Structure 1
Amino acid sequence: MRRLGSVQRKMPCVFVTEVKEEPSTKREHQPFKVLATETISHKALDADIYSAIPTEKVDGTCCYVTTYKGQPYLWARLDRKPNKVAEKRFKNFLHSKQNSKEFFWNIEEDFKPVPECWIPAKEIEQLNGNPMPDENGHIPGWVPVEKNNKQYCWHSSVVNYEFEIALVLKHHSDDPGLLEISAVPLSDLLEQTLELIGTNINGNPYGLGSKKHPLHLLIPHGAFQVHRHHLGLCWPIPDTYMNSKPVIINMNLNKYEYAFDAKSLFNHFSKIDHQKFSRLNDIILSV
């Protein structure tokens, strides 16, 4: 499949933002809104925003595909965060910040421990070989999604490491107006970032699956050209561009000559192979 981008850190708003003292429509109990002005930020201009192709912001959780134990693996986002003492010191600095001063981090002492397999995100600032925190005091990074790790059970539901495949939602290769759910080789996704969406991810704004039959999928970043809340528009909304397109299931597993776990999403999708649905949330998986 066509290689898209790799989003290794949070993307800043294209426009200069401002805080408005009224209840947020995105986060419950938040007494303010962060809205965009009509001024393009200097970071966007430096990145040649006028040559960029706008794409839909998919609302899930970020993942990354790279090698682990000698094979392509799905990695979950895990930012290394400061401990309580360092966080308090950092917040005090922000509240009394002067332009002439910089905050000093002690990377070895100020941050909570992370698993040994943790890796920092690419392209982040380094100092003396140590990854440095971003403006929020976090060090963006990744951990591999192990098959039996309950913390990442929804991540692991969309991959099969034995056959090195992943459940991916993308445009149909022959019909740009049609979406397709298929098993994609993880090797085709190497060094890409994707968004995990579904029943138990980030409030499930796309209405996928159910509590009894959860449904999760991966979407490559940049797959859907054309987020809303910085523009003052409601989110979530009933009909996103992505959620309004018909979708077909392409899940013929016979070539693998293997009995997939009866409860796996791969097996459920194979039972509705070649079926076409008018929209994503019309897909209902049953035992």
Structure 2
Amino acid sequence: MQKSVTCSVQSKISCIFGTQVIEIPSKKRFGQNYKIVATKQISKQALASDVKFATVTEKIDGTCCCVKKYQGQICLWARFDRKPSKSAEKRFKKFQNQHREWINNGKQGEEPRFKWNYPDDMKVVPQNWVPADGVERTGVGLVPDANGHIPGWVPISSDPRQYCWHHCVVVAGDSILVLLRNNGGLKITTVHMSELEGKTLELIGTHVNGNPYGLGSKQSPFHILVEHGQILVNNPPVIDYDDIKDWLNDKAPIEGIVWHCEDGNMFKIHRHHLGLEWPCDVTTPLLCQMPVTIEIEDSVMIQQSPLINKLFESETVFFKSLKDVLS
């Protein structure tokens, strides 16, 4: 029986399978001349975390956010990774090429290594930037991840213009968030931030990541938050490369799957790991194939919020699809 254990997303999630690099231009990352694909072997880390007993959820395609305190007040934070400077990035890419060649040549000779000079190798970040939980630290500072980034957060109040779409989902004096939840069906509702402290969420909508779910329009943009782990996968495939690929290809037009383990570790599979396209050109995303209702407290409805006002302009509380909301 699937256990309802879900975790917050603080850093990049590892693939549930082993991975390998192939020298083919990536369709996911522009300018990247290689692809990272899954092997058919479940990773040792996933097995050690008893991934077969994990909670299985849909991977949502948006931008990551979290709820935590800033200057004593709980607020919404946007993902902001600290990236290397131009000179450091050039050195790091050279190292990555050397490391791939070392792997492709059967790991002959000494393994290439890279040493970061923190913080000089990294770009300047906003003063209120904080590293994500779990970022590795040494005696000299923070350690970038395998991509050369240091995952982190900034409060959306730090740049209201840049984070204007984040601000759209915050109402009632910055204390309530507009969320999409899956409680016996999809529901657009509101939740006090105090109930979400320490949680991570995904912001999806018209102006996020190319809008793979087709929400809203340029004239009437629509953005909403989805708490990580909220959209459970019913009857998930067994953890087998071919079974998962067939399931995603034939039955589940979703970006991927995330496994939430009881020990707090998470593992994922993305369609691109399996050579599958995303977004799906032919099929409507699964998230938009389900009906959705609006359930918002009366006390919130009277707040001066453009999103809340728009949701109730039509006086409709039931929609056949998320795509029909503010369409």
Give the alignment's TM-score, normalised by structure 2: 0.77
1:265 and 2:307 matched: yes
Question: What SS class does the counterpart of residue 108 from structure 1 fall into?
Answer: coil
In 2, the alpha carbon distance for the partners of 1:233 and 1:96 equals: 28
Mapped contact 1:3–1:192 kept (Cα < 8 A) = no
Cα distance change, pair 154–196 in 1 and its aligned pair in 2 (3 A)? same
- What residue is the counterpart of 1:135 in the other structure? 146
Mapped contact 1:20–1:32 kept (Cα < 8 A) = yes
In 1, the alpha carbon distance for the partners of 2:125 and 2:30 equals: 30
Q: How many angstroms does 1:235 deviate by?
A: 1.6
- What residue is the counterpart of 2:215 in the other structure? 208
Mapped contact 1:64–1:192 kept (Cα < 8 A) = yes
Greater RCO (CA < 8 Å, at least 6 residues apart): 2
Mapped contact 1:73–1:161 kept (Cα < 8 A) = no
1:102 and 2:129 matched: no
- What residue is the counterpart of 2:277 in the other structure? 234
Question: What SS class does the counterpart of residue 217 from structure 2 fall into?
Answer: coil
Q: How many angstroms does 1:129 deviate by?
A: 6.7
* Aligned-partner residue type, residue 236 of structure 1: P
1:152 and 2:196 matched: no
Give the alignment's TM-score, normalised by structure 1: 0.87
1:118-197 superposed matches below 5 A: 118-128=129-139, 130-146=141-157, 149-160=160-171, 162=173, 164-172=175-183, 176=184, 178-197=185-204
CA deviation vs aligned residue, 1:77-103 (integer Å, no higher than 9, x gap): 111111111111222222234754532
Root mean square deviation, CA, Å? 2.5
CA deviation vs aligned residue, 1:214-235 (integer Å, no higher than 9, x gap): 0000001111122133233332
Cα distance change, pair 14–87 in 1 and its aligned pair in 2 (3 A)? same
Question: What SS class does the counterpart of residue 183 from structure 1 fall into?
Answer: strand
1:248 and 2:293 matched: yes
Identity %: 45
Q: How many angstroms does 1:67 deviate by?
A: 0.6
Mapped contact 2:205–2:214 kept (Cα < 8 A) = yes
In 2, the alpha carbon distance for the partners of 1:236 and 1:221 equals: 20
How many equivalent residue pairs?
Answer: 277
Q: How many angstroms does 1:133 deviate by?
A: 0.6
Q: Compare 14-23 and 66-75 and name the one that shifted more.
A: 14-23
Mapped contact 2:311–2:326 kept (Cα < 8 A) = no
* Aligned-partner residue type, residue 161 of structure 2: K
1:224 and 2:224 matched: no
**Structure 2: unaligned runs, 5 residues or longer:** 100-108, 234-255, 257-270
Cα distance change, pair 32–148 in 1 and its aligned pair in 2 (3 A)? closer
* Aligned-partner residue type, residue 96 of structure 1: Q
Mapped contact 1:251–1:270 kept (Cα < 8 A) = no
Cα distance change, pair 277–221 in 1 and its aligned pair in 2 (3 A)? same
